[in-house]
Structure 1
Amino acid sequence: MPLAPDIRIQAEDFDIATEQDRLGANRANIGALVSFTGLCRDENGQLEALELEHYPGMAESEITRIAKTAIDRFGLLGLTAIHRYGRIRPGENIVLVVAAAKHRQAAFDGAAFVMDFLKTDAPFWKKEHLKDGGETGWVEARETDLSARSKWQ
C-alpha cells in the first residue's frame, strides 16, 4: 500500500519538534529525518507582515501530488508538509517539510524536492504589508525558485 503523506494547510502555528517526533515515531527503518522550516523574513526591518492566501482544496491536492512524487522518487518512509496561511509576522513559521528515509541523502533530496516544487507550483499567493503602511502587491515566484525547481527535471 502506498505511503500517504501528511499534508496540512492551516492558519495556526506548528511545533517543529512535535512534528518531527510524530513522523519519526516508528523509527525501526528510519536512518534519517530531515526537516526544513521556512520563516517570515523582516525584509531589512521594513515588513510588518506577510499575507498568505491559498485556494482551499487545490492547495492540499497539489502539495499531496508533489509529496507523493517525492516519496516514490526518493523512497521516503514518511513525509510531512505543513503550510500556513493568513497574516504572518517576521520571525514566525510559514512552512515545514519533514522527510524520513533509510539514508540521509534520500531524506535531504526529498525535503529539497518538495520545497522547490512547493515554492513554484502550489497555489499560494503572498502580499507584503510594510511598516510604513504600504503594500508590495502580490509577490511572484523568483527566478531563483524556478531555477531550483528545474534541477529536478
Structure 2
Amino acid sequence: MSLRVAVAAPFIQHGTDRLQEHAVVVALSLDRDWFSPDQAKRLIDVATQEGLLDHEDGDLVAAFDPTDVRIPEEFVPDEDLLRERSAFERVLDGLVAEGVEKHEAVGAINGLQGELGVTIETAAVVYARRRGIDVSELVPVARSALIEER
C-alpha cells in the first residue's frame, strides 16, 4: 500500500509533523511492528528521496500534512515500500491514493502513452495532471526520460 500512509503513521501517532529520527524508527518498528529498525531506517531514506520527508535541524519533518492521511485499520505496509520506485510507480501510487482504480489508471496511462508517443513516465504525469493530481515533483523526471528517449 501507500508509502505516504506508512510515513504518516508516526507523525499521526505523535500528533505532530516533526519528529526525531529515533522516534520514527521506534514508531514503525516497536510500536506498530511493521518493520525492523533497519527497515524503518530504509523507509526513511526512501521517503526522503521521494520528497515525503525533509531533514531540518536534526529532525525529520513531514513534507505533507499527515492529518490529511487516513490509515486503514487493517493497513500493514508491504516490504516493497523499502525499494526505490520509478516515476511511473510513484505517480500510480498517488493516483490510487486519490481513489483512482489501479487497473483503470494503468490502462489509461498505457493508452495515453501510445496516443502521444511518449515514455510511460511522461504519460503517467500527463494523466495525473489531467485528473487534477499534483505530481509536480515528478515533472523533471518525466522530462528527463523523454529527452533520453530521443
Which interval holds the TM-score relative to the shorter structure? under 0.3
Higher helix share: 2
Higher relative contact order (CA 8 A, sep 6+): 1
